[in-house]
Amino acid sequence: MDDGFLMEVCVDSVESAVNAERGGAGRIELCAGLVEGGTTPSMGLLQVVKQCVRVPVFVMIRPRGGDFLYSDREVEVMKADIRLAKLHGADGLVFGALTEDGRIDTELCTALLAVCRPLPVTFHRAFDMVHDPLVALETLISLGFERVLTSGCDSSALEGLSLIKRLAEQCVTLGLFPPGGGITERNLQRILEGSTASEFHCSARSARDSGMKFRNPNVAMGASFSAPEYSIKVADVAKVRTLNAIAKNIL
């Protein structure tokens, strides 16, 4: 935060983590399954990333894609993943949980926060799926979350900018409201100026062609909507540096 802001980059590989740090990221959110919005990474990935970067690594705790209404068995998985992430060097945790009617699941969040402590915890973009964001904010403050990642309950942080600003104005006790979702070099200035944020969250990725020379066009390793097998998205050092430079000129 020496420059008055902090850029958090969400990554799903060692290469992306290294690139994010090289580009100037101040923190990494480590995930798997970015095509689903991020799920819990493997502990092997966490171990190697921690060996390769010096910036803090916050670990996503999300046992699957989809909604944020979890079964008892999924909760046990989340608790186990939190304990393992702490064991393998996580600097913070990221999770969110809702009730079926779109409210913060206070009972579950309280239980998970207890397992996370003393590490700091971010409530992720499950916040963007709540029924009443202003009420949800008060609940998260009372529970003790350090920050809330949000796109302002809209398709992108730019679209949700007015709500992000309103949330920040309503809350002076919660540390931060880093905007996240659809942040690019083209809209970062408007988002930071409009939200008065001192942190922001992005992936800053570019597609890189696979090194595979033999390719079977008849087989796909996932569902029809999944990413192409022979194109890999990684954090782009140049993009991270550009976003960093934009933020430095604003804040």
What is the DSSP secondary structure assignment for residue 104, as one 8-state letter? B
| Whether pLDDT at 201 is above 50 | yes
Task: Look up residue 76 and give its two tokens.
Answer: 């046990």
Count H helices, E strands: the chain?
Answer: 8, 9
- Residue 170: pLDDT band (50, 70, 90) is confident
Q: Is the dihedral of CA 188, 55, 206, 241 positive or negative?
A: positive
- Residue 1: pLDDT band (50, 70, 90) is very low
Domains of the chain in start order, with CATH, are: 6-250 (3.20.20.380)
Mean pLDDT of all residues belonging to the chain: 89
Question: Which letter, b or e, does each residue of 87-114 get, where b requires 16 or more Cβ atoms within 10 Å of its Cβ?
Answer: ebebbbbbbbbbeeeeebbeebbeebbe
pLDDT value at residue 166:
85
Average pLDDT over residues 158-170: 85
Strands 231-235 and 205-209: antiparallel
- Residue 224: pLDDT band (50, 70, 90) is low
CA dihedral 124, 14, 54, 247 (to 10 degrees): -60
Q: Give the integer Cα–Cα distance in Å for 244 and 237.
A: 10
45-76 pLDDT, tens per residue?
A: 999 999 999 999 999 999 999 999 999 999 99
CA dihedral 144, 148, 153, 159 (to 10 degrees): 150
The length of the chain is: 251
Q: What is the residue whose two structure tokens read 């029924």?
A: 131
Q: Give the integer Cα–Cα distance in Å for 148 and 5.
A: 16
116-148 pLDDT, tens per residue?
A: 999 999 999 999 999 999 999 989 989 999 989
Range in 104-118, 136-150, 156-170 the model is least confident about: 156-170
| Whether pLDDT at 197 is above 90 | no
Q: CA nearest 145: which of 107, 174, 188?
A: 174
Q: Are the C-beta atoms of residues 124 and 112 closer than 8 Å to each other?
A: no
pTM: 0.90
